[in-house]
Amino acid sequence: MSVQITCKNAALGYENRIVAEKLNFTVSAGDYLCILGENGSGKSTLIKALLGLKPQISGEILCDHQGIGYLPQQTVIQRDFPASVREIVRSGCLGKTGLRPFYTKEEKTLADKMMQQLGIKELEKRCYRDLSGGQQQRVLLARALCAAKNMLLLDEPVTGLDPRAQQELYEQIAALNRAGTTVIMVSHDVTAAVRYASHILQIGKKKQLFFGTTADYRNSKIGQTFLEAGGADLE
Amino acid sequence: MNKLQVLADYFIKYPFVRYAFIVGLLIALCASLLGVTLVLKRFSFIGDGLSHVAFGAMAVAAITGLTNRMAIILPVTMLAAVLLLRTGQNTKIKGDAAIAMISVGALAIGYMLMNLFPSSSNISGDVCSTLFGSVSILTLKSSDVALCVVMAIIVLLTFLLFYHKIFAVTFDESFAQATGIRANTYNLLIAVITAMIIVLAMNLVGSLLISALIIFPALSAMRLFRSFRSVIICSAVISVICAASGIILSILFSTPVGATIVAADMAAFFLFSLIARCKGTHA
């Protein structure tokens, strides 16, 4: 199994304020890593570091930033944005176009393939703002897949979805993972994390609380505390 | 019929009418293209703010007695545009407050300077024409037209070349950054082009009415169309038609050019809203 991300003793933060430090974890191809942590624990800073948008203060983070397909949180602007599904999914290919002002045939085919894979091909001419929350997330997921070289980074993807749409999206992500895509998901949802993820990284105020496989997490003290708090059903 | 003949006469006899027409249509086209992005990015007011800055800069240019006023107005407005878009991200003064602050500040200082160092005897006339663009479009020289054509070509080319990137940066800045598009560079580009259009449009509608050229066509198009490309195309078409009819009507009925164009844009907006309501599903 090839290692895709190595994070060694990394400290993250702004100027001279450290948000999280002593981060140590690795992600191998095919892993499903769930990053848990409360608000202000440095999750979004970690995302920026993984995407290569904000370099770490110290330590090492080794990964191919450009190869990560990113699913950001929805913004207010997007809710009433006049854009067709096809336009949005294709924009996932923009990282490859450089200064070329149009999409090539291969890029369009790639976008078509991703829409097919996520079952939104028949929506391609519909307007993004007319779609349901679950459909919108699938559109953004297809866009992320267009940008990805087999690694996805999802930032709280189920926020704002109703329980059924949440479930469907989790299943879809799990299916992508089974098909070989590495998934990194930032989440609040401990229950879903232990259900779907293969590895858990939990960060607390300023430091790393846990990193390991999901099985180890269930048996760890911190994992049990959190799962109880999250009201999880440990089969 | 009679009116049409009058119009045809104007076009044949007076080159400045033709100039006004060319310049007017080009400016309307550029403004509407960019307008879609600015409206969607919630920067509708940036046009207004920048035009006030341009007014202030024009006042400074007028009192220094420079022959080439553009040399001051353009860089100052561009600088303000860059500063305003910067503040949108992370500063203590939030975006809308920053725009309001800069725009009224520039307006006040501009008016004060014009009064302190009057360059002509008719200050209120000067101010009025700068604010509402009442006469300046009909006093364009061929060099002004050439400048306008060149700038319009630059704006159009930039837009065509970076169309997909502008879409991506407008729709989702964080994703665009993550895929390696330099979002900040494109924001800067958008700011600079906006400033260029505003300086150009001051000749046409005056600095108070520029926002209308930027936002109305975009808003009208968004009533009816559902994809980014169709919104952009429709907005451009509406804007050009409204500018053309506005200029023609203003010649026929001797109304102020800028105000007539804006009135035409408003009429188009209400028409499109009405159609959207009648179609029902597209509210």
H or E segment and range at residue A68? strand A68-71
pLDDT in tens, A141-161: 999 999 888 889 999 888 888
Whether residue A69 lies inside any domain: the answer is: no
Domain boundary among A148, A171, A186: A148
- What average pLDDT does range B67-96 have in this prediction? 73
Query: Are A186 and A106 within one domain?
Result: no
Q: For residue B228, give the nearest of A82, A102, A147 by CB distance.
A: A82
Q: How far is CA A120 from CA A72, A131, A136, A139, in A?
A: 19, 11, 10, 7
Question: Phi/psi class of residue A22: alpha, beta or left (left: φ > 0; alpha: ψ in -120 to 50)?
Answer: left
Query: Are A124 and A166 within one domain?
Result: no
Confidence of residue B161 (pLDDT cuts 50, 70, 90): very high
Confidence of residue A80 (pLDDT cuts 50, 70, 90): confident
Among B74, B49, B47, CA closest to B60: B74
Phi, psi torsion values for A62, nearest 5 degrees: -105, 115
Residues of the domain holding A111:
74-148
A/B interface, count of CB pairs below 8 Å: 86
State the virtual CA torsion across A73, A51, A171, A38 in degrees, nearest 10. Answer: -60
Q: How far apart are CA B90 and CA B109, in angstroms?
A: 27
Among B28, B73, B88, CA closest to B216: B28
The pLDDT of residue B15 = 79
Distance from CA of A136 to the nearest CA of B (A): 13
Q: Give the burial class of B141: count Cβ atoms within 10 A of its Cβ; 0-12 exposed, 13-18 middle, 19 or more buried.
A: exposed
Q: What is the mean pLDDT of chain B?
A: 83
The pLDDT of residue B29 = 93
Whether residue A173 lies inside any domain: the answer is: yes
The pLDDT of residue A232 = 46
Please, where are the H alpha helices in A17-154? 43-51, 76-79, 85-90, 94-97, 105-117, 133-147
- What average pLDDT does range B159-181 have in this prediction? 89
Question: Phi/psi class of residue A98: alpha, beta or left (left: φ > 0; alpha: ψ in -120 to 50)?
Answer: left
> For chain A, how many structural domains are there in total?
2
The pLDDT of residue B268 = 95
Domain boundary among A124, A148, A172: A148
* Residue located via tokens 């800055």: B53
Whether residue A189 lies inside any domain: the answer is: yes
Q: For residue B168, give the nearest of A53, A94, A99 by CB distance.
A: A94
Among B195, B118, B197, B128, CA closest to B156: B197
Distance from CA of A140 to the nearest CA of B (A): 10
The pLDDT of residue A235 = 35
Q: How far apart are CA B73 and CA B32, in angstroms?
A: 22
Q: What is the mean pLDDT of chain A?
A: 86
Using a CB-CB cut-off of 8 Å, the residues of chain A touching B164 are 90-91, 94, 97, 101-103
Query: Are A159 and A234 within one domain?
Result: yes
The pLDDT of residue A91 = 92
Whether residue A110 lies inside any domain: the answer is: yes
In A94-226 the beta strands, taken as DSSP E runs, fall at 151-155, 182-187, 199-203, 206-213
Query: Are A158 and A143 within one domain?
Result: no
Beta strands A3-14 and A58-62 are antiparallel
Q: Which CATH number fits the domain that encloses residue A7?
A: 3.40.50.300
* Nearest residue of B to residue A78, measured between CA atoms: B171
Confidence of residue B50 (pLDDT cuts 50, 70, 90): confident
Residues 6+ apart with CB under 8 A from A169: A134, A137, A138, A141, A157, A158, A161
The pLDDT of residue A220 = 84
Q: How far apart are CA B261 and CA B247, in angstroms?
A: 7
Query: Are A6 and A25 within one domain?
Result: yes
Confidence of residue A234 (pLDDT cuts 50, 70, 90): very low
Among B227, B262, B236, CA closest to B35: B236
Percentage of chain A exceeding pLDDT 70: 97
Whether residue A50 lies inside any domain: the answer is: yes
Percentage of chain B exceeding pLDDT 70: 87
Among A66, A57, A36, A91, CA closest to A220: A36
Query: Are A84 and A195 within one domain?
Result: no
Interface of A with B (CB under 8 A): 51, 53, 66, 68, 70-72, 75, 77-78, 81-84, 87-88, 90-92, 94-95, 97, 99, 101-103, 125-127, 130, 140, 143-144, 147, 153
pLDDT in tens, A182-224: 999 998 888 888 889 999 898 887 778 888 888 888 888 888 8
Interface of B with A (CB under 8 A): 40-42, 160-165, 167-168, 170-172, 174-181, 222, 225-229, 231
Query: Are A86 and A190 within one domain?
Result: no
Query: Would the pTM count as exceeding 0.90?
Result: no
- Per-domain boundaries in chain B: 2-279
Q: What's the CATH class of domain B2-279?
A: mainly alpha
For the ranges A60-69, A95-104, A168-177, B123-132, the lowest mean pLDDT is seen at: B123-132
Domain boundary among A100, A123, A148: A148
pLDDT in tens, B85-142: 765 555 555 667 777 888 889 889 888 888 887 766 667 776 776 776 655 566 677 7
Long-range contacts at B112-117 (CB < 8 A, ≥ 24 apart): B113/B56, B113/B59, B113/B60, B113/B63, B114/B59, B114/B62, B114/B63, B116/B63, B117/B63
For residue B5, is pLDDT > 60? Answer: yes
